[in-house]
Structure 1
Amino acid sequence: MALLTQTLAYHLITFLILISSTTFPATAKTRDFVRSLDRKTLELGKEKISHFRVYWHDIVSGRAPTSVSVVQPYDKNSTTAFGMIQMIDNPLTEGPDVKSKLIGRAQGFYGSAAQEDVSLLMSMNFAFCEGKYNGSTITVFGRNEVFNKVREMPVIGGSGLFRFARGYVQASTHTFDLKTGDAVVMYNVYVMHY
């Protein structure tokens, strides 16, 4: 019996040593990959809020569409086009005319995500190409209930001058051509950033 107890104790001690030798280095490494930073290290100044008004041109017709279908709806007779996905590289302009000053491009996709109403899942970056915001982006991700007069979606991030961005956009349809399917949507963007 004493020999059995010694053997069990030996195996238990060996097991505990093996576990502790594999656990402690992993814990030490875990502490190394995260650290607190001072805001000054990232050159973060005072947070500000900006408002942009841009016009988003969804061009599905013609020889050079900026919005192309990559997935067709499951049911071609669906009134909501559920399952449809469009990839976009839409112009963002200063005014509602597509020939007005180009401010950036909306790049990403939208898909019909509802079976009982026309609601889109929007996932896009507003990639700016004008002035001091050239090269900076704002990321919009949310639900767009197409037939509502004003649709609100969150700004979930950004890059460049919009690092750590958060806020929201309000979209309202300016024009929609029933014949071509082309649309112009006014986006009011309210974004907090550094």
Structure 2
Amino acid sequence: MAWVAVRPDASLAAVLVIILFLMPAEGHAVRAGRALKLGKEKVTYLHFFLHDTVSDKNPTAVQVASPNSTRFPFGFGSVFVVDDVLTEAVERSSPVVGNAQRIEVLTGLDKFSVVMTMDVAFTTGKYKGSSFSVMSRNPITEMGRELAVIGGRGKFRLARGVAQITTRLFKFPDTIIEYNVTLFHY
């Protein structure tokens, strides 16, 4: 393999040109060779509660892999798959609005956190059949935190935004998390 020396300013210029060509022009996206009219960008605010249940006989989170080492504390490197219930209110008996499916990897030796990819899908109401995606580091020991919204489908097509989350109940290992989400989408 041969290495080619590139001037730093040339690399930056190349990256900027690539970004320029990838940016959508005037609210259009190309799909299957034709432009998809996106319309006007909208802002939506969502509020719901996520119920992460591990201790029940029907858990919503299951560990599927763990490191082959005892050197790391707290399951560092463990991988979980999750299918949590979303409700309108903090009580689990309140109406269900959807579910959140995610993959989590436990990380961070100084601050206990997870790196996660999550799809938040709505199964009832005016957003039924729509979802948004989150990919972010989640420092789970902090009461309030922020996660990045990186995409969406249905009514949340091309979503971007932020999910501000607050732990409302932590009864090890079960958790209820409040979500306040701001989405920009088409």
TM bucket normalised to smaller: 0.7 to 0.9
**Would you say 1:139 and 2:133 are equivalent positions?**
yes
2:99 is matched with: 105
Aligned to 2:176: 184
- Cα deviation, residue 54, structure 1: 1.1
Structure 1 pair 60/193, CA: closer, same or farther in 2 (3 Å)? same
One of 46, 49, 52 as aligned partner of 1:52: 46
C-alpha RMSD over aligned residues:
2.1
- Quote how far apart the aligned CAs of 1:77 are: 7.5
- Relative to structure 1, is the Cα distance of residues 74 and 95 closer, same or farther in structure 2, using a 3 angstrom cutoff? farther
User: Match of 1:161, SS?
Assistant: helix
Q: Unaligned 5+ residue runs, structure 2?
A: 1-21, 29-34
Residue identity (%): 37
Normalized per residue, which structure has more helix?
1
Shift of 1:75: 4.7
Code of the residue aligned with 1:148 in structure 2: it is E
Question: Which one of the candidate residues 136, 143, 149 is aligned to 1:149?
Answer: 143
Task: Give, as a single letter, the amino acid of the residue that structure 1 aligns with 2:84.
Answer: N
| Residue 74 of structure 1: how far off its partner (Å) | 4.7
Q: Quick one: distance in 2 between partners of 1:128 and 1:76?
A: 40
Segments of 4+ in structure 1 off by > 6 A? none
Compared CA separation, residues 64 and 52, structure 1 to 2 (3 A): same
TM-score scaled by length of structure 1 = 0.74
SS of residue in 2 equivalent to 1:42: strand
Q: Which residue of 2 aligns with 1:70?
A: 64
- SS in structure 2 at match of 1:132: helix
- TM-score of the two chains, using structure 2 as the length reference: 0.77
The structure-2 alpha-carbon separation of the partners of 1:70 and 1:168, relative to structure 1 and needing over 3 Å to count, comes to same
The answer for unaligned runs of 5 or more in structure 1 is 1-33
Which residues in structure 2 correspond to 1:89-100 (within 5 Å)?
89-100=83-94
Distance in 2 separating the partners of 1:76 and 1:176: 26
- 1:123-167 deviation line (CA, Å, top 9, x unaligned): 110011112211111001101111222111110001111111000
Structure 1 residues 6-65: Cα deviation after superposition (integer angstroms, max 9, x where no partner): xxxxxxxxxxxxxxxxxxxxxxxxxxxx9x887475232211111111111111112111
Higher strand share: 2
Distance 2:48 2:70 in 1: 33
